[in-house]
Structure 1
């Protein structure tokens, strides 16, 4: 039986029908979808018009409202005030959004200073930067507040220099706390924000459960190439918060993924159903432990970004941002409560598959560890990478080229960690030995 390691990113969930992009979450959280639904109801011709059209119109409505709110802020006066922020901006934005009917269906919504930052960034920054890259937002904001680093915000990210200056002032005021440990206050607020994201993912899974599980089964079979003549022992590292071991066990019981034997499954950054009693009971039973709540979803920055400037390039343990790194967050979230030593990665695999993962620099440390574990340079391990396919030839080609670029960057970076090797050597070797494959995604 062939042994394969599957690494899943958000593209997997998108392919299976869930709207799990950060922007989808923000649209749902800040009323864009709510306004779009109202516009759709008001439009007598809505049956033949895609919902996205109403989202665009709703988005413009929200931007106009947020711009009005941000313009009304006298942030210089607030900063000069000697008293602490004490959640002033959180309450201010929350009241404004509710007054305009954007949160009327969710009176218990828990807002944080991170919500304020994401809302303000949507008005003052270009290209919805933070709504597409939450980890970058965390790095930039913590760098400004904790390291007083003014260089993280490039001018090209903002409409104007005055917008950039105002954004930075609002960020500083958001975390103008009376606590000595501002870093801990920022992390506590981030944890609350993350739990709201988990709530959104649970909502997505509930609304699309039947279609999603059917697509998951089909896609797992396609990725592993199983059929009546081939069986696979599969280990999975899932960077998503949705599909967890409890759900996969259900698919196995339903014989929906026949010829696939799941050896181990871990949601490396936590699970959406972290506080679900059924999921907790199941995972505690199969892993022989009971640690109460399961690890909730985490966002984090890459430790590479806060390396010491010395030649040794070691992690700066005195950097206050260290508690926001993924390595720290993994330990803090008690990720091992959904793992045990019996359900662990095998000592050897035939293939490592990357599906739906952007191969961002923030996750290089995970991949480099796996490549070391399986001795990628000197072994026979194959690598399969999937890129998002399009119906249009030009878009498809660009998608393929972008993924190829990410693959080369990842492997070259890893090659530079190997003794007596040049970074590009590993790419050349994998190509010559036919161990590097690039595939387009396909419909479920």
Structure 2
């Protein structure tokens, strides 16, 4: 069955997705429950649950990086370490996204954690519903580098739905594995393996039920 047929078959799917998007935005670490800057959504799903978001943040950048159900949908492997192999290259998401000419409306998904000349900064990054696996690691690595995660001020908020026993434990394990992998790539002598500890001590790492 096609994904778009599955979505159409489920009554209320888009309403539920739209409501979920609202809850994700409201669960940031901003004191009043709402971001004080622009909102950018990097969506790995193939649907567009954006009605509430467009009403609340008309200038929000909405990026379905791997396409939409009614258009070209991109599947593939992570590009890290594979972009110089001409046999593997066509199967990477990096190649397929670039080949599709799918751009980012604002020109960037993330900004430095300090407000720059353009007045923009990334105060928090909110995750939900992603496996945090290596399949999309290139995206995480790029965003973390842009905000200078180790030395910057950006907070990471990992949200999960408690739909079964052990969900929180599983989410915490995935978060720590992601941060450990990224931290080990930084090459900071004596500090590359303490990224998660640093973020926790600075109040910049949250794992929360939505």
Same fold by TM-score, threshold 0.5 exceeded? yes
Identify which of 13, 19, 30 aligns with 1:215. 19
Does residue 322 (structure 1) correspond to residue 126 (structure 2)? The answer is no
SS in 1 for 2:125: strand
The residue matched to 1:409 in structure 2 has which SS?
helix
In 2: Cα distance, 1:432 partner to 1:410 partner: 18
Matched residues in 2 for 1:342 and 1:303: separation?
Answer: 21
* Structure 1 partner of 2:180: 412
| Residues 205-260 of structure 1, C-alpha deviations (whole Å, 9 max, x = no match) | 7x4356336524542443347897845431110101101xxx63x4356x4xx3x4
Give 1:299's aligned residue.
75
Offset at residue 344 of structure 1 (A): 5.5
- Cα 1:328–1:386 shift into 2, 3 Å: same
**How far apart in 2 are the matches of 1:263 and 1:332?**
25
Distance 1:416 1:252, change over 3 A: closer
User: What residue ranges of structure 2 are gaps of 5+ in the alignment?
Assistant: 113-120
Cα separation, partners in 2 of 1:343 and 1:427, compared to 1, 3 Å: closer
Report the number of matched residues.
Answer: 200
**Looking at both structures, which has the greater relative contact order when contacts are Cα pairs under 8 Å and sequence separation is at least 6?**
1
Q: After superposition, what is the alpha-carbon deviation per residue over 1:187-212, rounded to whole angstroms, capped at 9, x for unaligned?
A: xxxxxxxxx44x3355257x435633
Rg larger for: 1
Q: 2 CA distance for matches of 1:344 and 1:229?
A: 21
Report the 3-state secondary structure (helix = DSSP H, G, I; strand = E; otherwise coil) of the residue aligned with 1:271.
coil
1:331 to 58, 79, 98: 98
Give the drift of 1:434: 1.5
Q: CA deviation at 1:342?
A: 5.9
Moved more, 261-270 or 354-363: 261-270
8 Å CA contact retained: 1:263, 1:343: no
Long gaps (5+) in structure 1: 1-28, 30-195, 275-295, 308-313
- TM-score (norm: length of structure 2): 0.80
Task: Report whether the alignment pairs 1:240 with 2:37.
Answer: no
Higher helix share: 1
Distance of 2:200 and 2:179 partners within structure 1:
12
Tell me the alpha carbon deviations over residues 75-111 of structure 1, each in whole angstroms, 9 at most, x when there is no partner.
xxxxxxxxxxxxxxxxxxxxxxxxxxxxxxxxxxxxx
Instruction: Give the Cα–Cα distance (whole angstroms) in 1 for the partners of residues 32 and 197 of structure 2.
Output: 35
Residue in structure 2 matched with residue 426 of structure 1 by the alignment: 195
Contact 1:239 1:269 in 2 (8 A): yes
Q: 1:203 to 1:434 in 2, by over 3 A?
A: same
Please list the CA deviations of residues 145-196 of structure 1 after superposition, one character each: whole Å capped at 9, or x if unmatched.
xxxxxxxxxxxxxxxxxxxxxxxxxxxxxxxxxxxxxxxxxxxxxxxxxxx4
- Maintained 8 Å contact 1:235/1:264: yes
Is 1:273 the counterpart of 2:42? The answer is: no
* C-alpha displacement of 1:407: 0.9
Asked if structure 2 preserves the Cα contact closer than 8 Å seen for 1:380 and 1:435, the reply is yes
SS at match of 2:98: helix
Structure 1 segment 157-196 matched on structure 2, within 5 A: 196=2
- How far does residue 273 in structure 1 lie from its aligned partner after superposition? 2.8
Superposition pairs of residues 4-403 of structure 1, within 5 angstroms: 29=1, 196-197=2-3, 199-200=4-5, 203-204=8-9, 207-208=11-12, 211-212=15-16, 215-216=19-20, 218-224=22-28, 230-232=34-36, 233-243=38-48, 248=50, 250-251=51-52, 255=55, 258=56, 260=57, 262-274=59-71, 296-304=72-80, 307=81, 315-318=83-86, 320-336=87-103, 339-341=104-106, 345-347=110-112, 348-390=121-163, 395=165, 398-403=166-171
Q: Secondary structure at the match of 2:74?
A: coil
C-alpha change, 1:225 and 1:208, in structure 2 (3 Å) is farther
